[in-house]
Amino acid sequence: MWRGRTGISTMPMESPSEAPDGLPILELQRVTKTYGDAVSAVRDVEVDVERGEFVTLLGPSGSGKSTLLKLIAGFLQPSAGDILLNGKSVVGVSPRARGIGMVLQNYGLFPHMCVGDNVGYGLRMRGWRRAQRASKVAAALELVGLSGMEHRLPAQLSGGEQQRVAFARALAFDPTLVLMDEPMGALDRELKVRMQNELRRIHNELGTTMIYVTHDRDEAVSMSDRVALIHDGIVDHLATPRELYELPRSMFAAQFFGSHNLLPGRALSDGQRVAHDSYEIEIVCEQQKLRVTSGVELHSGAEVVIAVPRESVSFRDPEGPVLAITGTVVQAVYLGPIQRVYLEVGKTTMIAEVGTDITDLEIGRDVRGYVPVSKLVACAAEFAASDVSIESPDVAGIV
């Protein structure tokens, strides 16, 4: 495995327009970061980011996503592997020389500087003339909707306005890409939604490549072209939000990203490829034989988990092949247009999200639920991210 160079270089970086055509703007090649002899923050990460993409690094706290962002930015150096920007290795290259814009969770604004000076700080550090800076600062503030606020101090701004200033500063010098480390973590829900829409608008308008770190799935879904799902320092899956939700490859992806119910199962056949990234496989689940889809190649006899989307559970028998589930109502919570029903199914608690027109769901009542087989996905069980009991079912006697 290639070992990264040591030391810091200040060589100028090629601008995005000068990069070779067809190359990803960013390539992570088996990137590893270790601390001491035993602790690996990230391990063998391989990710390509295309020019103009919005890619989110999504994972729970401690998964390694912020470490990965710092490696891309140059604040940390990899223990092994390589990082290529516009086709050139940047291991050992200083953060400023990489041409990367950065937005932090606390925005990192200088409290003693006015908005205009904050936005123009990176330009001044890069030797831009005063007139050039003024023109670029005005354009950046117009882009984020803060024209006319050049002379205000950060303390005179709301949280959302401070965040916009941070975006303007990161974008002002036409960066190769922009990195954002949970910049909306401190905002309330309503403001967060507005800022997500604003950031997506800015991305669509500029076409700047953006890499965003969050532990919030809704943020990832609402803004991303693709999501890198990170778990224990590895990239579990890199795909579009739709692909991650509808065809999770692992138990972790199904649970953390999809919030799906998980039921134990076993493969009764080898998976048969039906498309580039999907297979069909016979499984047993809840004492029933079913043919379901899988996003990974599974083999006969393998223990699997069956991902069951919450909204796919019905208490009315639908047409077509179904998985039938018997459970006891533990709780029913009213959520406006839907109600969330908690069911005790064996050793597992399942959640069904159904319409409020279903009223016979008293606590303690035994009910029969149905899930269309077309909504079920068989996942690999090796990334266990919960205390859900996954026990191999007894296949004997199943018809």
Give the tens place of pLDDT for each residue, 289-343: 999 999 999 999 999 999 999 999 999 877 889 999 999 999 999 999 999 999 9
DSSP-based three-state secondary structure for 22: coil
> Are residues 224 and 361 part of one domain?
no
Neighbours of 385 (CB within 10 A): 17
| DSSP output for 74-126 | TSS--SEEEEEETTEE-TTB-TGGGTEEEE-TTTT--TTS-HHHHHHHHHHHT
**Amino acid identity of 293?**
T
Separation of alpha carbons 60 and 327, rounded Å: 30
CB 253 within 8 A of CB 237: yes
What is the model's pLDDT at position 294? 95
Number of domains the chain contains: 2
Counting residues of the chain whose pLDDT is more than 90, the rounded percentage is: 63
Q: Which of 202, 237, 272 is the last residue of a domain?
A: 237
Average predicted confidence (pLDDT) for the chain? 86
Counting residues of the chain whose pLDDT is more than 70, the rounded percentage is: 90
Q: Which of 195, 215, 237 is the last residue of a domain?
A: 237
> Are residues 256 and 208 part of one domain?
no
* CATH code for the domain in which residue 316 is found: 2.40.50.100
> Are residues 156 and 114 part of one domain?
yes
Give the tens place of pLDDT for each residue, 133-164: 899 999 999 988 899 899 999 999 988 888 88
> Are residues 268 and 220 part of one domain?
no
Separation of alpha carbons 114 and 370, rounded Å: 60
* CATH code for the domain in which residue 126 is found: 3.40.50.300
Compute the chain's Rg from CA coordinates: 25
Separation of alpha carbons 105 and 218, rounded Å: 17
> Are residues 115 and 171 part of one domain?
yes
> Are residues 281 and 213 part of one domain?
no
Give the tens place of pLDDT for each residue, 246-298: 999 999 999 999 999 999 999 999 999 998 889 999 999 999 999 999 999 99
Q: What is the pTM of this model?
A: 0.85
DSSP-based three-state secondary structure for 282: strand
Separation of alpha carbons 90 and 272, rounded Å: 42
> Are residues 91 and 21 part of one domain?
yes
What is the model's pLDDT at position 9? 30
Distances (CA, A) of 274 to 78, 278, 280, 307: 39, 6, 7, 19
User: Residue 68 is encoded by which pair of tokens?
Assistant: 């990965």
Helix (H) or strand (E) holding 197, with range, is helix 189-206
Give the tens place of pLDDT for each residue, 19-43: 566 789 999 999 999 987 777 899 9
Pairing of strands 348-355, 338-345: antiparallel
Neighbours of 369 (CB within 10 A): 23
> Are residues 102 and 137 part of one domain?
yes
| DSSP output for 306-373 | EEE-GGG-BSS--SSSEEEEEEEEEEEEEETTEEEEEEEETTEEEEEEEETT-----TT-EEEEEEEG
> Are residues 93 and 63 part of one domain?
yes
> Are residues 159 and 68 part of one domain?
yes
Tell me which residue range forms the domain holding 28: 16-237
